[in-house]
Amino acid sequence: MSAKTLVVIGHGMVGHRLVQNLRRRDEAGAWSVTVLCEEPWAAYDRVGLSSYVGGWDPGPLALEGNDFADDPLVDLHVGDAATTVDTAARSVRSASGAIHTYDALVFATGSHAFRPPIPGNDLPGCFVYRTIDDLDAIRAATEGHGGEQAVVVGGGLLGLEAADALRSLGLVPHIVERGDRLLSAQVDAGGGALLGRLVSELGLHAHTGLGTEEIEPAGGRLAVHLSGGTVLDATLVVFATGIRPRDALAGEAGLTLAPRGGIETDLAMRTSAPGVYAVGECAAVEGTCYGLVAPGYATADVVVDRLLGGDGVFPGADTSTKLKLLGVDVASFGDAHGIGDGALEVVLSDAAKRTYAKLVVSDDASTLLGGILVGDATAYTTLRPLVGSPLPDDAAALISPAASTAGAGSLPDDAEICSCNAVTKGRISAAIADGACDLAAVTARTGAGSTCGGCLPAVKQLLTSSGVALPKALCEHFDISRAELFEIVRATRTRTFSALLARYGRGAGCEICKPVVASILASTSSDHILDAEQAALQDTNDHFLANLQKNGTYSVVPRMPGGECTPEQLIVIGEVARDFDLYTKVTGGQRIDLFGARVEQLPQIWRRLVDAGMESGHAYGKSLRTAKSCVGSSWCRYGVQDSMSMAVRLELRYRGLRSPHKLKLGVSGCARECAEARSKDVGVIATENGWNLYVGGNGGQTPAHAQQLAGGLDDDALVRCIDRFLMFYIRTADRLQRTARWLDEIDGGLEHVRQVVCEDALGIAAGLEAAMEAHVAGYRDEWAAVLDDPGTLERFVSFVNAPGEPDPTVAFDESGPRKVPVLVGMPDFPVART
């Protein structure tokens, strides 16, 4: 019997979930699927859209398996929107002119960003914040406008994300919210007050209780008129005032729409037309649309069940939310605003620690109904599943910092651990009992943690409480962790990989343990990384002290502490780029990158730079990269401390410091945060009372804002704290673990690190400081060391048996506006690459 045909209109997160689940459950192949995707991108993580800013690479946003390349029963049409639906003929016409017939049809058209009916809302410079294309357009509009103002209309989740994105693009965002507080749907007045304070300290300007009345052109810019007479001058305006279901196509096809918008469905997600369903944000389930991914996934699962003969119905929506916006934790769950009759509130507000927690309980204080957390949302994982459950005698104990937080293991089996995928504790426990003994296995079997990842700490707790010993082995050759191996090297003073392997490991080593040991050896001494046996342990970038590019050439990045560079050094960089025909680019870390150098040219380039007083910028190493800085009080009228001098001091102190992952520092001269210090592993922000120290920021694949470790520090106290923090991280972190993830996973989290670093709770502060002093005293520029060692210099040739020959596979395309590498075939003469 031939397969029936399902047509899915839309390939967002919910549409993709539907197709994936159908193909996973449809073992008999009863359905073939045609997916019509309007955007030029297959399904991507719209929840994580803001992570696109900065990297500008859509690849990391792509949902797993979104191309269905190996599935003959899925036909995906990207960039081909559905244009008309004929429910009588059971057919869909797409923009390409193709007609697709169906046995069942699913509308997964999602929603669109709402533009409020404000005069001037369609002027050039007005944008919405919804898709990758929207962000690309915003980025293009901000070029050349750094430091200018932008206005975000709307102070909800999307508005704060948009403001953060604009700030990262160098603009000064103003958020205009008609309501009396930011995130009014998630937090109450108390939580909103704290949130507004935290946001303002980050350099954002919030205008609450004001409406946007008109936008008009003003000398090449925009004048945004607010109620009450305020006028904001802006480079651009971003509307983040909510979403509206995309139901026009369904309405044109004659489907019944809900009075407030959306395609009306019953609890089985059936529309008014036979064989036609609606899921996600476009579906009005018994008249109500839901704008969160978790209920969207639930609607998709209902339709899959119905297509396969089941009787699934929509279980209701969990609108709980946990997020980190602008580095601020915010969470709400259950009846967060106390709407229920007679609901009582238990509130703990700590202005000093900048935290706010509220529990909503029943009128007899026996049952948890909901809650709000601002500033610290670590209790969310255990509190949210307890909604509807009996409370202890003292409900405040659940949010009191003095009380021990109940672990996930104490939750009932029907408690939902992963709200995105509706995975209960019982289901996870069953998977663990059935042999899923690590995070990857639990995720593969249950789906827990596969969407936002916020539940992974709870899954880890369940693994541990089930008696599973989470593996700590570095690799198959070492049964110990990186931190343990670090302590062995430090205590035994072992200086070779072979000696470590012979005594504490087995086999010959691999691509995991060799670079780890190389990093540890470099972190515990001032030996050159290419000395003796160490050279063979390095990966390609470290082996040649430069970054390998796609066509086999290398990039060279000289250090510019704090972004400083003398005119003479700039001239030398320009001359080197000209003489070696290199492509130059100013990096985001206030340095100049020289691209296109062949390996045999590297020492010649280094010699010119070293002679000009410059040194390696370690752009190739798992080590300190840069200390980004604004000009601070030296030049800026807002600066309250000399951020420039401090950035130079820190970069010169920690240059060459090898660590589990790369390190980036930032120093801002005031709370306006022009150096973006809170996106760095170590961020320093000046106040009138001294320096505030933030740690654990990460602008990489999983962005995270740094959290405050200490405040009001003088110069020397700041350096001591950073010394201790960095050395503690280097000693205890896992391989390739950024400081953000390390803080999330180390026992006790930030508070434990604060006790160790600031209060010397473990009594190791002196040792940490001594280790850093040893590093500083032993530092030597790696480029200069190679130039002074003829033996090491011999490695820098393209071919070991033809040292005078340049690599003939290196080529460039210079026909466009910039020089770019191209790949060509290998030479036909016998040479051996280095």
Query: What residues form the annotated binding site for [4Fe-4S] cluster?
Result: 630, 636, 670, 674
| Inter-residue contact 166 to 173 (CB < 8 Å) | yes
Phi, psi of 419 (to 5 degrees): -75, -25
- Angle subtended by helix axes 13-25 and 293-307, to nearest 10: 30
What are the tokens at 609?
């730079």
Report yes or no: 678 and 667 within 8 Å, Cβ to Cβ.
no
Distance CA 449, CA 452 (A): 6
The angle formed by the CA atoms of residues 473, 477 and 483, to the nearest 5 degrees, is 40
- As given in the structure block, the two tokens for residue 496 are 């070779």
Alpha carbon separation from 185 to 195, 198, 321, 419 (Å, rounded): 13, 18, 10, 18
Question: If residue 197 lies in a helix (H) or strand (E), which one and from where to where?
Answer: helix 189-201
Helix 482-492 and helix 715-732, axial crossing angle in degrees, nearest 10: 110
Annotated binding site: 630, 636, 670, 674
- Asked if 806 and 633 count as a contact pair (C-beta separation under 8 A), the reply is no
Give residue 793's Cα distance to chain centre.
40
- The distance in angstroms from the start CA to the end CA of the chain is 59
Total residue length of the chain: 834
What phi, psi does 420 have (nearest 5°)?
A: -60, -35
Write the secondary structure of 267-333 as one string of H (helix), E (strand) and C (coil): CCCECCCCCEEECHHHEEECCEECCCHHHHHHHHHHHHHHHCCCCCCCCCCCCCEEEEECCEEEEEE
Secondary-structure percent of the chain, ordered helix, strand, coil, rounded to 5: 30, 25, 45
Closest residue by Cα to residue 770 from 720, 804, 828, 711: 720
Phi and psi dihedrals of 381, rounded to 5?
A: -60, -40
Helix (H/G/I), strand (E/B), else coil: 503: helix
Q: Which residues are annotated as a binding site for siroheme?
A: 674
Q: What is the dihedral angle through the alpha carbons of 282, 283, 288, 291, rounded to the nearest 10 degrees?
A: -50
- The CB-side HSE value for 759 (13 A sphere, CA atoms) comes to 8
Alpha-carbon span 503 to 189, nearest angstrom: 61
Residues 6+ apart with CB under 8 A from 702: 51, 740, 741
Q: Write out the E strands in 54-157.
A: 74-78, 82-86, 91-94, 99-101, 104-107, 111-113, 126-128, 149-153
Angle at which helices 439-446 and 456-465 cross, to 10°: 110
